[in-house]
Structure 1
Amino acid sequence: MERTADCQSPKMSTILADRQRRKSREYRVSNRSCYKNLDAIAPTKDTPKYQSINQGGGMQMKRLFAVAFVLFSSFFGGAAFAQAPEAQVESGHLRGIVENGVLVFRNIPFAAPPIGPLRWRAPQAALAWEGVRAAEAYGPACPQPDRTDGGGGGRASVQSEDCLQLNIWAPEGARDLPVMLWIHGGAHQIGSAVFPIYDGGALAKQGLVVVTANYRLGPLGYFAHPALTKEAGPEDPLGNYGFLDQIAALEWVQRNITAFGGDKSNVTLFGESAGGASSIYLMASTKTKGLFHRAIIQSGGGLQQPTRLAFQEQQGLLLAQAAGLSAEASAGELRALTTQALLDSQGPLRGAGFGPFVDGRAVTEAPWRAFADGRAQNVPLMLGWNDHEASVLLALGVTGDAANALGGERNQELRSLYGDISQEEFARRALGDAFFGTPAVWMAQAQAKQAPTYLYHFTYILERRRGSVPGASHGSEIPFIFQTWDKLLGANLSALANIGAVLSEQDRQFSTMISSCWASFAKTGAPSCAGGPEWQAYDPKTDQLMLFAPDSAVRAVPNRPQYDLMVDWFFKTAR
């Protein structure tokens, strides 16, 4: 069947999407110009073919229907029988895809492309489009250094500054379901919502609408420069554009998630590493009131002291000079730099702190102050850390010698609390505790005063890897929660090549259990772990947490003396 040149594809999408209208003869007749041979398939009583059918009897009718079926199937490739889901959002109409019984919409713009004059500005409203926007495939990752080792959860092989999109998974027939919005990790410099490790299909099957969102990274997301500060108006941000992107994604969810069957009054914010840290900043912000109703912080730290605007401006000057600009470069000259020039110039500054900082506008204080004073968002909180968090610190260039500075003048006392272990093991454990364990325990104590709080410690290692790795590394809980180990294995990422091609039955059962903890918390604000122990809210008096391990159980907080020493040291030196 041949289509005529003036027949538009949006009309055909309507035929696919609207079965009732497709059954209507009036509709088929009104659209008969779309096919040169329509009379042979849907004849009207005025056509010779119709008259011939009625004169030729039932056998001719059967042959005609058989031919029509073959032509219809060959034209649509069977698509009409696996109806593509569609949704209407504020910017236009979307057509998604069905994957394993889950409705999926990808590459949905939640803000205008932050390019040209919009680079280093607050996110603007997404541009409207005409017709139906295909939402089957992922969009690009935000610009970042290319990695081949799977760091940050995958490889950003396709990148663009036009990256402010999100992805949505929802069960078929979803209506008023709890929503989970994921913020990916990657030190605020790498990572993307498009990586297969963050596929939300398995979580959606548990009765959730899952959203993953990109945000600007590195020098495009957390850049400051005197020239940009000078041109900024009184209401304009002076940096933290990636942080503002996260707020824009939350705001978009409030305005649009009902189109996908989500309940905008039941949104859980969750993230890991930089995503967990971002969640802490979002909980501490006065700009996010009512945008989410629960939060999960996975290895997010929380007691680190953010840098200030003056420091970030100096970083910006160094980067601009590395890109060939003078110290007096204008904002226009900065925006004229190519994306690649910015990434190349980042080089040695990469570990120096392109992340949230106190600019006095988007971020006004260190977030721990809001938690300490009881001013953080009063929402149920789940948080925790992994056994071998030092893995990420070492990858970022932190050396084991840094452990010798922990605790200040009490370093030797701290060292003795860990017992008779090697310097290497002391560094591994103490650095992980200082940057992740201690902040998680302290934040649990602070948040428990105003909302139900659930604390965990993750030590589970794939059964085939036990004995070959020092512990559960930074981020290793993610594929268990998303149940995406199979997708990672299929992605052929070199960093994961040694995990074995097959998970054990225990691994799969553990993944089902811990994933249900996250899903139930999003639904009710209290985790209920299928097949796992009962997880009570954190109480400073009993000081217990959920230990995720091969034999998961409720246990006392480990290393309490070490944490107390580190907290005391932190608050004596905090600015």
Structure 2
Amino acid sequence: MGQADEDGTWVWKAVPFAQPPVGELRWKAPRDPQPWSGVRSRRRFAPPAVQYQPLTGQILGTEDCLYLNVWRPASYQTRLPVYVWIHGGGNSTGSATYVKYYRGHRLAAAGNLVFVSVNYRLGPLGWFSHPALREGRSPEDDSGNFGTLDIIQALRWIRDNIAAFGGDPGTVLIAGESAGAMNVLSLLTCPAAAGLFHRAVIQSGVVSTTSPEQAEGRARRAILRLLEKNGLARDPRQAEELLASPERLRAFLRDCSARQLLRCYSPGPSGMIDNPSLITDGTVLPAEGYAALERGDYPGKVPLIIGSNQEEMKVFLYLAGSPSWRSPEYQAAARFGSERWKAEAVDAVARRLSAVPGQPPVYAYLFGWGARDQRGESPLPGHWGERLGSFHSLEIPFFLGVETTEGSLVGTMMFTRANRPGRVALASAMQRYLVSFLRSGDPNLESSAGAGALLPFWAPWSNAAGAPKCILFDTRGPEADIRLLDRELTLEGIEAAMRAELSPELLETTRAILARPLTGPTRRR
């Protein structure tokens, strides 16, 4: 049963889209939910999947996590376009309602659309591949890509049921940030997801997959730690003997609690763990991984928005606490690490897809709000422009329209009364582009109509020399600063700039910092 929510919307909380993945369904593809009779009423959002809490390292959540939430305007209009939000968090933390700005009431009201946010299994419960768990009954059960299959199951549920909420199953956009964006990109290549979505938005994604051999090696090492931690093996040799019996090992793994499993992994300051995900198993995801995009042999040829933030890396450097944010090492790693991010996860993908016959337009963006300008000034208060700038995830409340960073790793200090006029103007423009893209596959068709001034034309990515590559989202004082950029980044060009601009000592230090995993251990500030 739905209930009234903010901004004149209705919300349905904790709607099950699959059976709880517990007991015999742990490490299995999701199963359709059991039907129920009568009215199902949920006043609270579902708890998150099992994970480490950021900063504290405490374990929270539950295996019974496969629920979604639906927002829509408080009206009886039907065939509304559907926006599906896939949260980030390294595929090991987060949830559909992890932070307040993930909630869909504002965008549902402003865009007259249906907003769906989705939970999925995380960490070793979401992506885990070991021979002992493969029983040969189903390729999907044996794939190891359980979190990916959860998202696909949610999309199937949306296809079959969203009309009951006034949504149009023929106009579905999937959007995600960080690991959520990585998941969206992977779904372009996934045969089982074909036809379940019609547009895609990739915000600050990562182009990364894991081979079956790598996944099995990581799982094996985790199981060895698990056996030792639970006193079933005195040393690695005895643990290896237990590994030789698939039946005993399978029973042991299914009997372990989720918390026991997770404790085999050490969290970083954001709660993320270094667990493989997106396994190129050849069933759920193609064995060749993203090479399918290079060949043009992928089913998800849909209009695409893809982008990154100007200073993605700063929040990871800041949370790590080393080097000091005042140091040249910090600023060099932030600049070149963020440029590498854009080169690999935006420009290379846009360049590759734009060359594929039959691929609809690809629209790229660079989010710059928060970064210091040429005068060294930032809309962020105090020294936060230098410390964090336009950091990873900051664009989310602008696209979704929720005026808060409450619940995020950096708290609520970013949005102030002084910077409100500019960010409200920018957020309004970004939402108009987004809603137009959702409705038509073109961010320009409806963004020039309705309330607000005429917005700049957002040209799709072009591989022609000197042609527009992306649009900049920023502010200049109280006004939005939106304009096309023709600069294209490559890893080779960034490497050349590092060599030219950094001293040998600073170059070596910067490379070492950028080689650290983003999930690395907490360091003292």
2:92–2:273 contact (8 Å) kept in structure 1: no
SS at match of 1:330: helix
Alignment-mate amino acid for residue 452 of structure 1:
P
Alignment-mate amino acid for residue 558 of structure 1:
R
1:293–1:379 contact (8 Å) kept in structure 2: yes
SS at match of 1:100: coil
SS at match of 2:430: helix
Distance, in Å, in 1 between the alignment partners of 2:390 and 2:294 is: 29
Distance, in Å, in 2 between the alignment partners of 1:506 and 1:466 is: 17
2:178 aligns to what? 273
Distance, in Å, in 2 between the alignment partners of 1:251 and 1:433 is: 36
- The TM-score, its normalising length taken from structure 1, stands at 0.72
Partner of residue 354 from structure 1, selected from 239, 254, 276: 276
Deviations 1:377-412 (A, max 9, x none): 221001111011113554797988xxxxxxxxxxxx
Q: CA RMSD in A?
A: 2.8
1:166 aligns to what? 68
Distance, in Å, in 2 between the alignment partners of 1:553 and 1:95 is: 38
Distance, in Å, in 1 between the alignment partners of 2:32 and 2:174 is: 21
Distance, in Å, in 1 between the alignment partners of 2:409 and 2:287 is: 40
1:199 aligns to what? 103
1:136 aligns to what? 43
Deviations 1:413-468 (A, max 9, x none): xxxxxxxx954433222222223433311211222242111110011128243753
Alignment-mate amino acid for residue 447 of structure 1:
L
Structure 1, 273-282 or 522-531: larger mean CA deviation: 522-531
Distance, in Å, in 2 between the alignment partners of 1:246 and 1:322 is: 29
1:428 aligns to what? 334
1:514 aligns to what? 430
Structure 1 residue 199: deviation in Å?
A: 0.8
2:9 aligns to what? 102
1:381–1:447 contact (8 Å) kept in structure 2: no
Partner of residue 127 from structure 1, selected from 34, 55, 61: 34
2:84 aligns to what? 181
Partner of residue 350 from structure 2, selected from 424, 437, 444: 444
User: Is 2:249 aligned against 1:330?
Assistant: yes
Q: Which has the higher helix share?
A: 1
Alignment-mate amino acid for residue 457 of structure 1:
L
SS at match of 2:339: helix
Structure 1 residue 127: deviation in Å?
A: 1.3
Deviations 1:345-380 (A, max 9, x none): 122796433321212322223542121111232210
Structure 1 residue 344: deviation in Å?
A: 1.2
Distance, in Å, in 2 between the alignment partners of 1:238 and 1:336 is: 21
Structure 1, 519-528 or 215-224: larger mean CA deviation: 519-528
User: Is 2:147 aligned against 1:242?
Assistant: yes
SS at match of 2:462: coil
1:104–1:136 contact (8 Å) kept in structure 2: no
Alignment-mate amino acid for residue 262 of structure 2:
L
Structure 1, 273-282 or 155-164: larger mean CA deviation: 155-164
Long gaps (5+) in structure 1: 1-93, 150-154, 401-420, 568-575
How many positions carry a matched residue from both structures?
444
SS at match of 1:560: coil
1:90 aligns to what? none
Structure 1, 547-556 or 451-460: larger mean CA deviation: 547-556
Deviations 1:153-198 (A, max 9, x none): xx99962111100001111223111111111000100010022221
Distance, in Å, in 1 between the alignment partners of 2:435 and 2:217 is: 43
Distance, in Å, in 1 between the alignment partners of 2:382 and 2:435 is: 27
Partner of residue 343 from structure 1, selected from 262, 267, 287: 262
Partner of residue 398 from structure 2, selected from 480, 485, 489: 480
Higher RCO (CA-CA < 8 Å; seq separation 6+): 2
1:301–1:437 contact (8 Å) kept in structure 2: no
SS at match of 2:72: strand
CA separation of 1:348/1:507 partners in 2, compared to 1, >3 Å: closer, same or farther? closer
Distance, in Å, in 2 between the alignment partners of 1:102 and 1:139 is: 19
1:454–1:545 contact (8 Å) kept in structure 2: yes
1:216–1:241 contact (8 Å) kept in structure 2: yes
Distance, in Å, in 2 between the alignment partners of 1:219 and 1:507 is: 38
Structure 1 residue 331: deviation in Å?
A: 1.2
Identity %: 31
